[in-house]
Amino acid sequence: MADLSPSRAITVTVNGVEYEREVEARKLLIHFIRDDLDLTGSHIGCDTGNCGACSVIVDGRLVKSCMQLAVQADGATIETVEGLSEDGALTELQQAFSDHHALQCGYCTPGMLMSATALLRERPSPTEDEIRKALQGNICRCTGYWNIFEAVKAAGGSA
Amino acid sequence: MLLRAVDYAKPDSVAEAVELLAANDGARALAGGQTLINVMKARAASPDGLVDLNGLDDLKGIDLAADGTLTIGAMATYADIASSAEARARPILGEVCLQIADVQVRNRGTIGGNLCSNDPTNHLPPLVCAIGARMTIVSGGGERTIPADEFFVGVYLTAVGPGELLKSITVPAGTHDGFAAVTLGADGTCIANAAASVGGDGSVRLALGCVAAVPVVVAPASDAEEDVRAAVRGAGLEPPADVHASSEYRAHLAEVLSVRAIRQAAGKR
Amino acid sequence: MSETTIAPAPTEVVVPTRRWSGQNVPRKEDKRLTQGEGVFVDDVKRHGMGYVHFVRSPYAHAHIVSIDLSKAEAVKGVYGTLTGEEVAALTDPFFQLATDPGAKLKDYALAVGRVRYVGEPVVAVVAETRELARDASELVEIEYEPLGAVVDARTAQDAGTEVLHEDAGTNLMWEGVYEWGDLDAAFAEADRVVKIKELHFHRFNSTPLECDGALVEYNRGTGQWTIHTNNQFPGFAVIMMGPAMRCGLDKLRFVTQDIGGGFGNKITSHPQLVACCLLARKLNRPVQWTEWRTDFHLSMSHGNERWFHDTEVAVKSDGTLLGFRTKALDDAGAWLRYEPLGGVIWAQVTPGMYRWRNIRLEFTQVATNKAPVSPNRGYSRMQHL
């Protein structure tokens, strides 16, 4: 029978790389990704799971990594912003963000990119309403969102 | 933002899960975590242990029986329900699930978690009351099934006791349902909400959320607006006041949203 | 005649066929920011660094009776602590931008003797992990004697109201009059005078997505601190910190790459930076601080709260606005930090986009038991315009 324990050894695959680590049960997945794995692209913007700056894709589903324990990701396949581009070349989505000035300070951007990536996988040519709904869980304080919508529309080929 | 130290287990079976909960007084079930993890981050509550239910496939199914009875496992996520072909037997469920928060929350948050946390502002407690759902609770000693009306006991309290788990929610097929809410921003927390169901025989069930510790179930004489308003006014509501709404405003919204919810439900006849 | 006395032929000027205005100019930083390769302050790590958690006041106004750190310091993995008493011994108060009475405030990196707003940092705890610092901070025992709280700027100067700062002897922090044009003539020419008895603009906050933070290293050999921080105005921070820390400005080296939004809110983190500097020196290890959103909302960079009293606007019947006068009462919170600059800067932009020619602003700034205000969006009270 499974025992209650304060920590456990977990194995996660992040952006194609497998990691084995011992973690405290209380550690949030976002802290594991940032502090233990040194993948600092995903960010923390709030204490309450509202801002979405920590959004990553776990086993194909977009989640807020601050609302999950690292131990819960044992065996999971995780994608973060660092895994989007290959060989440092910007993807169409990332380029669209730059072209449309969908970022200013860049702090919300990784979360926005992951949410947009999840959307475009399911809906390659999303409508404006679908984009709005898909980005509902991501807050931006700089841009006013308009350029982000335009960038996602452009990347979706429905601009 | 940083949890207190906690013990953790991830059982492989429902039997194991209830055994762990029964054996560990300070342990709590961890479902989607979209509420509990936040509570623990704020250190508003810090269980000694967490029994992670996410490995329990037995609790994730959405099954439609030949007679139209829909059984939803407690660990089905809002996203699962919204995208399930079977769940379309009772479409209001998916429609309301899509109004909850955002994609990220819907991918992890579960119907069981929503019901068992029984926050007065949650969407699903009034909804399951309105549509006449039945909840099956499992423990080491077996299972029992109770109607939704008896499931919600108090703020954050349900009929699920120590050592027990909500296993599934059973709902008859039907389409004549409505749900209306006033929320903090699109898809935000409800300030007031109302769920309604209109039976083939013209009977009307109405459940009001956000106005009391548990959903207030009301049975208007008919789906006519005057009857709906009369029923809500006659319910003796004393809603709480907070930064978002005064007591009077909540009571007023309860009436308005009831009319809307019933109009939606009746309109689908 | 030599050729040098002949004026050279004019150079042919080539007029560019493309100008920058109207062009989409891509940014250099987008490439790294969209790939998650930005370096924000919490991304910076140092081997052996200690994580700071600030224990903050739960009271709006209270005497600090006693502080017991023994339980917190006994936790394995806790590297050390810092209190207001130490700060008062090791540093001088931050100099004040205000004239008297505000000039008399004794503002330190941690609360000394008294807390004056909910969320004011009282003790800093440094530990091996973030979680441990948080856990240990719950073991710090502080005894408070609550005092009456001043929460309404309008009554802050009334007799009998608690005075926040004995050194000033009053809750009045600063007052000044800005007058431009000829008010008497404007009001004489007016067909009517519109009077607005009272307007209140409430507190708000610009809420950048990234909270404040720093990673501070101390070099014992040179006595220099390296401060990785997202403070958006290091030039201001350093001139506040140097004199307070009794060191030359060359001893404070600021390093910044990416900042997750400032909007003015990241200007007044110098008190926490001083605390981190003292800790880095005391503990002989790098010290890392990341502010929590809850702490930020509670106690950092509020802005904008002002009452306008007895506003009078001179107008003509054809709609021409001739001038106005008003009394602006600022609720500055418990410490001045960047004030009264906020009021002064506002005076510079008061006409906004309108053709005012006659204006009189009587500014009063008072201290209250609320979070110290900080710039929000440049002119610092945009909403009032």
User: CB distance from A108 to chain C under 8 Å?
Assistant: yes
Q: Please write the tens of the pLDDT for every residue from A98-147.
A: 999 999 999 999 999 999 999 999 999 999 999 999 999 999 999 999 99
User: What Cα–Cα distance (Å) separates residue A150 from each residue in A98, A153, B185, C328?
Assistant: 11, 5, 22, 42
Paired sense of beta strands B49-52 and B7-9, if any:
parallel
Contacts of C290 in chain A (CB under 8 A): 44
* Rounded mean pLDDT for each run of 10 residues along chain C, 385 residues in total: 61 69 90 97 97 98 98 98 98 95 97 98 97 97 98 96 96 96 97 97 94 98 98 96 98 96 96 98 98 95 93 96 96 94 85 92 96 84 77
**With a CB-CB cutoff of 8 Å, which residues 75-114 of chain A face chain B?**
none
3-state percent helix, strand, coil for chain C, nearest multiple of 5: 25, 30, 50
Mean pLDDT confidence for B11-39:
97
CATH number 3.40.50.510 given to A7-83: no
Q: Do C294 and B42 touch (CB under 8 A)?
A: yes
pLDDT at residue A133 in the model: 96
Among A118, A158, A157, A159, CA closest to A138: A118
* Degrees to nearest 5, angle at CA C210 with C385 and A69: 140
CATH 3.30.390.50 domain extents, chain B: 177-267
- Would you state the pLDDT for residue C345? 87
Measured CA to CA in angstroms, residue C125 lies from C54, C71, C273 at distances of 6, 12, 14
Nearest to B107 among A49, A61, A66 (CB): A61
pLDDT score, position C8: 65
Residue B62 has pLDDT above 80, yes or no: yes
Question: What residues contact C299, with CB distance under 8 A and at least 6 apart?
Answer: C56, C117, C118, C119, C120, C371
User: Does A159 score more than 50 pLDDT?
Assistant: no
Q: What is the reported pTM?
A: 0.94
Q: Where are the domains of chain A?
A: 7-83, 92-155
List the one residue out of C372, C369, C331 whose CA is nearest residue C96.
C372
Q: Is B4 on the interface with C (CB under 8 A)?
A: yes
What CATH homologous superfamily does B177-267 map to?
A: CO dehydrogenase flavoprotein, C-terminal domain (3.30.390.50)
Residue A24 sits at the chain B interface (C-beta within 8 Å): yes
Task: Give the distance from residue A60's alpha carbon to the nearest chain C alpha carbon, in angstroms.
Answer: 19
Domains by residue range for chain C, with CATH: 170-204+301-384 (3.30.365.10)
Residue A136 touches partner C, C-beta closer than 8 Å: no
Query: Per the CB < 8 Å rule, is B4 touching C294?
Result: no
Residue B211 near residue B250 (C-beta atoms within 8 A): yes
Q: Tokens 């581009």, residue?
A: A85
Indicate where chain B has its CATH 3.30.465.10 domain(s).
62-172
Residue A40's closest CA among A10, A3, A77, A65? Answer: A65
CATH architecture for residues B7-52 = 2-Layer Sandwich (3.30)
CA-based nearest residue in chain C for residue B2: C131
Cβ A74 vs Cβ A19: under 8 Å: no
pLDDT for A33: 98
- Could you give the CA distance from residue B204 to residue A37 in angstroms, rounded to a whole number? 56
- The answer to whether the beta carbons of residues B83 and B93 sit under 8 Å apart is no
Provide, as residue numbers in chain C, all residues whose Cβ is less than 8 Å from the Cβ of B4.
Answer: 135
Min Cα separation C109/chain A (Å): 24
In the structure, what pLDDT confidence band is assigned to residue A88 with cuts at 50, 70 and 90?
Answer: confident
* CB-CB under 8 Å, A25 with B50: yes
Average pLDDT of span B144-164: 97
Cα separation, B10 vs B57, in Å, equals 12
Q: CA geometry: angle at C87 spanning C81 and C93, to 5°?
A: 155
Facing residue for A26 by CB, picked from C38, C43, C131: C131
Contact state of C209 with A94 under an 8 Å Cβ cutoff: no
The radius of gyration computed from the CA coordinates of chain B, to the nearest angstrom, equals 18
Domain topology for A92-155? DNA polymerase; domain 1 (1.10.150)
Nearest CA-CA distance, residue C127 and chain B, Å:
14
B101 pLDDT higher than 50: yes
In CATH, B62-172 is 3.40.190.10: no
Which residue do the tokens 């307070």 mark? C244
Evaluate whether A7-83 and A92-155 have a shared fold: no
Please give, rounded to a whole number of angstroms, the shortest distance from the CA of C129 to a CA of chain B.
Answer: 11
